[in-house]
């Protein structure tokens, strides 16, 4: 029997979740698989798929799945409470990713609201009750506030009238809320982006300022490209208008690579191949628990293209905010180095 290494385990997960099947002589390394699927946001789905194949996990894996299900239930109960607060006050809102990976859930709940921060934050603190967490430079520039709610393990990350690494997309935030669709999850009606907007958001959020991709995002994107009848005129037009065509092209080029490696077939339709900048972003490879890419080179190239796109479209507000991105990156690097130094200085 073949014991899979980390990279092969990632391929196995893709095959499981995208209607593939593991090789009959494969022996799962549960010790490697558990942190891989938990950190990549696919734990519950992998457990369900393995159960459908008659594969019983060891007790530690089953216990982790039970705890994650409880966290997801608590998080959607919070979604329902926050939704009721916003509706009662007439605040337009959207949960950008809460439903995207269901029955799994990301590390936090991203709430986009179209109302002044002072009003929304005061409501959440008073009625949940919630406690605002200290903000770093990036969160302050982007206009986001993370809240902790008593009894809920998942943080509530509130984005005030903007999306993007430094809150550079204000008009698009309004469009996201206006075009939202309604989904019922865990008995809760939840506002979610339209499939086309969910894909554009991948170009906004998944590469810029990051060093890796998670399996949950790859699985969602492949599933959407296979399943949804997407309006590519809208996707490409929106990405071009808000200056993220490069980000979307880079992200989809990595997803295409991953799909080819796992299934030996192309993924993107011809219209996307003609319009998107898919070449020159380098290879993506699964290592150290995630799909990693040449982050420094890619982010530098993408940043320059975003600045140029902002100037070309006369998006002066968004371009001004993008000029703050190097400051955010430097602050993040200093914080990470400080944390690493503090860990290394601790006695063994």
Write down the domain spans for the chain: 1-57, 81-193, 194-341
**Is residue 82's pLDDT more than 60?**
yes
Query: What is the structure's pLDDT at 191?
Result: 86
Query: What is the structure's pLDDT at 3?
Result: 46
Mark out the alpha helices in the chain (DSSP H runs).
6-17, 30-39, 43-52, 59-88, 117-127, 137-142, 170-178, 195-205, 215-227, 232-241, 245-263, 270-275, 295-312, 316-322, 325-345
The answer as to CATH 3.30.460 being correct for domain 81-193 is yes
**Is residue 343's pLDDT more than 80?**
no
Of 69 and 319, the structure prediction assigns the larger pLDDT to 69
Q: What confidence tens digit (pLDDT) does each residue in 201-247 have?
A: 998 888 888 889 999 999 999 999 998 899 999 999 999 999 899 99
- pLDDT band, very low/low/confident/very high, at 340 (cuts 50, 70, 90): very low
Which of 115-124, 278-287, 327-336 bottoms out in mean pLDDT, i.e. has the lowest? 327-336
159-195 per-residue burial string, b: 16 or more CB within 10 A, e: under 16:
bbbbbbbbbbbbebbebbbeebeeeebbebebbbbbb
**Mean pLDDT, rounded, for 277-301:** 91
Distance CA 236, CA 217 (A): 19
Q: What confidence tens digit (pLDDT) does each residue in 151-200 have?
A: 999 999 999 999 988 888 889 999 999 999 988 887 888 889 999 999 99
**Is residue 53's pLDDT more than 80?**
yes
Q: What's the Cα-to-Cα distance from 50 to each of 42, 58, 59, 103, 117, rounded to whole Å?
A: 12, 12, 14, 15, 44
Total-model pTM: 0.89
**Is residue 337's pLDDT more than 60?**
no
């Amino acid at each position: 029997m073949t014991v899979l290494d980390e990279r092969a385990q990632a391929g196995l997960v893709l095959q499981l979740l995208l209607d593939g099947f593991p090789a009959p002589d494969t022996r799962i390394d549960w010790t490697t698989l558990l942190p891989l699927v938990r950190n990549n946001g696919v734990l519950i789905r992998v457990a369900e798929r393995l159960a459908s194949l008659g594969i019983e996990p060891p007790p530690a894996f089953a216990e982790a799945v039970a705890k994650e299900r409880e966290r997801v239930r608590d998080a959607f109960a919070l979604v329902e409470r926050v939704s009721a607060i916003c509706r009662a006050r007439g605040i337009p809102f959207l949960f950008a990713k809460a439903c995207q990976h269901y029955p799994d859930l990301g590390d936090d709940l991203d709430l986009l609201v179209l109302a002044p921060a002072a009003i929304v934050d005061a409501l959440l603190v008073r009625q949940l009750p919630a406690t605002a967490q200290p903000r770093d430079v990036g969160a302050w520039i982007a206009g986001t506030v993370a809240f902790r709610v008593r009894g809920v393990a998942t943080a509530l990350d509130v984005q005030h009238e903007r999306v993007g690494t430094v809150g550079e997309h204000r008009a698009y935030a309004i469009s996201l809320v206006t075009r939202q669709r309604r989904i019922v999850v865990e008995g809760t009606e939840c506002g979610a982006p339209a499939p086309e907007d969910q894909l554009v958001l991948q170009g906004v959020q998944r590469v810029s300022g990051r060093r890796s991709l998670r399996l949950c995002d790859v699985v969602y994107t492949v599933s959407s490209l296979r399943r949804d009848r997407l309006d590519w005129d809208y996707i490409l037009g929106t990405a071009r208008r808000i200056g993220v065509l490069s980000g979307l092209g880079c992200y989809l080029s990595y997803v295409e690579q991953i799909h080819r490696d796992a299934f030996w077939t192309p993924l993107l339709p011809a219209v996307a191949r003609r319009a998107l900048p898919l070449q020159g972003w380098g290879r993506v490879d699964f290592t150290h628990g995630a799909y990693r890419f040449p982050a420094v080179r890619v982010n530098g190239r993408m940043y320059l293209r975003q600045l140029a796109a902002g100037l070309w479209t006369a998006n002066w507000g968004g371009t001004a905010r993008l000029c703050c991105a190097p400051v955010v990156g430097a602050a993040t690097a200093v914080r990470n180095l400080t944390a690493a130094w503090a860990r290394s200085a601790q006695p063994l």
